Structure 1
Amino acid sequence: MSKGCFITFEGIDGSGKSTQARLLAEALPGSILTREPGGSPGAEEIRRLLVEGDPDRWSAETEILLFTAARRDHLEKTILPALEARKTVISDRFADSTRVYQGATRGDLRDVVDSLHAQMIGREPDLTFIVDMDPDIALTRGLARQSGEDRFEDMGQGFQARLRQGFLDLAQEFPDRCHLIDGNRSIQAIAADILSVAQARI
């Protein structure tokens, strides 16, 4: 293997993807666990602008620009150096989230997202796990965390349902790298499935 493996986790808020990303990192010694928005000092500063505050704080277009700026810094400072060092990088969210959140559910902006991604990021994951679950359950979980980062959860159940469909569509669009995971099971059962797929790819 000349370079490392880049694995991402996607899904609606409260789906359990962050837990599964952490468990996979623990099961793969030497791997790097990171997240979006964030994952580098500059991107973490932008994260606060995106996930806190009023749901109407930013337009979808502004969000796309902010996410792309954060992702570029994350790529430069964290992801690419780790891959060059032949490490496995596991990221809680990446560009697929922007494709769904801003590109598909907050306006017909997918072309804008893809154009910016091609120009400024130019990198897709090697493997993506999409953790799928009932939006009502996921929303309840997400809001129960009371993390202070509830801006997208505060957009309501209808928004979460559109997000879920967006991620299901994405799994069909990129079948070679996307694996749909049933999140309506025990944490241990989900983690076992994910580890099996990841080990086969790595």
Structure 2
Amino acid sequence: MKVANIFATLPLRGNYEVIADYILNRVGACGLAWGAYSQKAVSIATGCNRLGIPVVLGPHSAKYRRLYLSRKEEDDWTVMDGREKKLVNTEEPSPEHLITVVESKERAMVTMAKLCIRKNDTAQGRQLKLTHYIALHKQYMGSLPDDLHLFVRKTTDIPIFFKKEVMAYLEKVGWKEKPVLTLPTLIGTYPSEVPLDAVVH
């Protein structure tokens, strides 16, 4: 919460919706609840979700039967461009899920790297995040991620170390450039008493 207050100078008092929107769309954070999944862990994971932070859960959490999953390429990834004040379909599932379960620590590391990707990443920031995602996926899964094309907006996003390999993959799947937003927000895409100007700083 302090990130939104310090970097975006957003007021904290009585401003939960805007703070959660800021974190969901612009702060590359991800939670992890591992081990014996107690009610305390459920509360912590839920608290993260309320603030717009995606959470990765261990296999024990399946007994609580609550996941917030997307369907990647089928779902609508339209957000409001806070500067232009128009709806933009980013075609980018970032973050892909709010609560998801994984079966191993290796899969957890890969998933967490992916869930840190946000729509407002700079080219350098996206390069760094994709470097981690690709490196971990290759190390633990043995190949490039099959959804990599969804997270590359422009060629400047491609990590230099993996550029040749990634470019070949993108050509193979018929990748197209996506819009890059500097102020993505969900406010304005659903009925709310919060004005769009509240997120513009």
| Fold equivalence (TM over 0.5) | no
- Larger RCO: 1 or 2 (CA < 8 Å, sep 6+): 1
Query: Quick check: which has more Rg, 1 or 2?
Result: 2
What TM-score, normalized by structure 2, do the two folds share?
A: 0.29
TM-score w.r.t. structure 1 length? Answer: 0.29
More helix by share: 1
